[in-house]
Amino acid sequence: MDTRNMSAEEIESRVARFDALQPMSTPNDLGNLSQDALDVVFARRLMPVILEKTKNPFGTTAAIFGAAGTTMNVSVCPPGQGPTLHTHHNTYETFMVLEGAFEFSVGGEGEETVTLGRWDVFSCPPGVPRGFHNCADTDSVLLTVITGGVHERDDVSVPPSVTQRMREEFGEETVESLRKIVTMNE
């Protein structure tokens, strides 16, 4: 097996410093969505660590690009906040709580729940609906790793109930904006 060296510049391009992480670019890319609408679909503060340079719901800002089909995010959610029920159809989504606690809802209607505390991990396979929210009384921090094929990042959908909720609470324009990054089932 061949090995190779990395230059200091190459090494630095593969390092993500937490203090330098930038929020995902999606809110800027969509432009017209309110924070309340974004809070239904994303963690309040979602910072991509690793992205593939392919279409994905997290935008184009990351500390590291390209890791054989791995996407990694750090999310900070205030109490009660977190992404609604959604499905990744071709990728695994694995979560580790770094601080606080999160309750995950799993299943077509979120009928099963599991609560994770610090250092606990939940790995959700493709095709299974899941959503989560911070169930602590202070901000909670979550590490999310999405794995699968390099070009499988664009595989997220929400159930009809979420599409209807978004339409009722935020209007058709918001639903149409979200269709750019996620399949909004009717």
Condensed to tens digits (0 to 9), the pLDDT of residues 4-39 reads: 999 999 999 999 999 999 999 999 888 879 999 999
Mean pLDDT taken over the chain: 95
Residue 153 banded pLDDT, cuts 50, 70, 90: confident
Q: What are phi and psi of 161, to 5 degrees?
A: -65, -35
Quick one: pLDDT at residue 29? Answer: 87
Specify if 88 maps to a domain: yes
d(CA 107, CA 117): 21
**Cα 81–Cα 86–Cα 92 angle in degrees, nearest 5:** 105
pLDDT per position as a tens digit, 36-66: 999 999 999 999 999 999 989 999 999 999 9
31: domain CATH number is 2.60.120.10
Specify if 2 maps to a domain: no
Specify if 92 maps to a domain: yes
Specify if 157 maps to a domain: yes
Specify if 12 maps to a domain: no
Specify if 4 maps to a domain: no
Quick one: pLDDT at residue 32? Answer: 78
Query: Which domain range does residue 89 map to?
Result: 17-184
Statement: residue 179 has pLDDT above 90: yes
Per the structure, how many domains does the chain have? 1
Specify if 6 maps to a domain: no
d(CA 78, CA 82): 8
Q: Average pLDDT, stretch 93-97?
A: 98
Specify if 22 maps to a domain: yes
d(CA 145, CA 72): 4
